[in-house]
Amino acid sequence: MTQLILASTSPFRLKMLRDAGLSVEAVASGVDERAIEETLYDTGVTAEEVAGILAEAKATMVSEQHPDALVIGADQTLSLDGRIFHKPTDMEAARRHLLSLSGRTHELNSAVVLARGGATIWRETAVARLTMRTLDPGFIGRHLSRVGDKALQSVGAYQIEGEGIQLFEAVDGDLFTIMGLPLLPLLAALRNEGALDG
């Protein structure tokens, strides 16, 4: 059976893949995402394209080190009015994230890439649109104190699969895309590659 590697140390993505029945190991890619993004400023690339570029960089880098494996690279960007958000560095940044998203619709762009022998063999990007309800600043503070450091583990400062669902009034997109991995297209691609029974 083909060795599967996730080019990431994301516990969320690894859990999603293992919960789906995949035998997969995680290998850190070592990709400097911010450095890559800096080269993309003022080039006209969209937040959706940035996610794909970063996913591909991770997959191909790890794939070069493990040429016989099928390597999964993934990345997610959050965009609002052309601005790309990154994971908040501290609770104050998380508070500012939620204040910026409050009462507005943002996009989560989740990209996944398969690579073998240092070359990309498949890619997909899925987009989810999420409308956050208008949040009172006091509620934001109380919410962040309840969820704690979990708010620092995602680009939007929330986990929709947990208490973060309370922040929203509408969601257009599947849960896997929101969680950072378009799982159904990935599983189909893995079956096409003979890496999964089916």
Note the pLDDT tens digit of each residue in 107-144: 999 999 999 999 999 999 999 999 999 999 999 999 99
**Looking at residue 44, what is its pLDDT?**
85
Which is catalytic among the residues 32, 75, 136, 172?
A: 75
Residue 197 lies in a domain: no
Question: Catalytic site residue 75?
Answer: yes
Q: Residue 178 and residue 160: Cα distance in Å, rounded?
A: 8
Residue 154 lies in a domain: yes
Residue 198 lies in a domain: no
Please report how many Cα atoms fall inside a 13 Å half-sphere around the Cα of residue 16, on the Cβ side: 22
Greatest CA separation for the chain: 53
Residue 65 lies in a domain: yes
State the residue for tokens 């609770």.
Answer: 91
Instruction: Name residue 128's beta-bridge partners.
Output: 108
Q: Full-prediction pTM beyond 0.85?
A: yes
- Residue 185 CA, chain-centre distance (Å), reads 15
Closest CA to 108 of 147, 152, 74: 74
Q: Residue 193 and residue 30: Cα distance in Å, rounded?
A: 26
Q: Residue 25 and residue 116: Cα distance in Å, rounded?
A: 15
For position 96, which CATH number holds? Answer: 3.90.950.10
Examine the pLDDT at 61 and tell me if it is beyond 80.
yes
Examine the pLDDT at 42 and tell me if it is beyond 90.
no
Residue 45 lies in a domain: yes
Residue 8 lies in a domain: yes
If one counts the domains in the chain, the total is 1
**Looking at residue 55, what is its pLDDT?**
96
Q: Which domain range does residue 36 map to?
A: 4-192
Residue 46 lies in a domain: yes
**Looking at residue 101, what is its pLDDT?**
98
Closest CA to 176 of 167, 192, 190, 187: 187
Length of the chain: 198
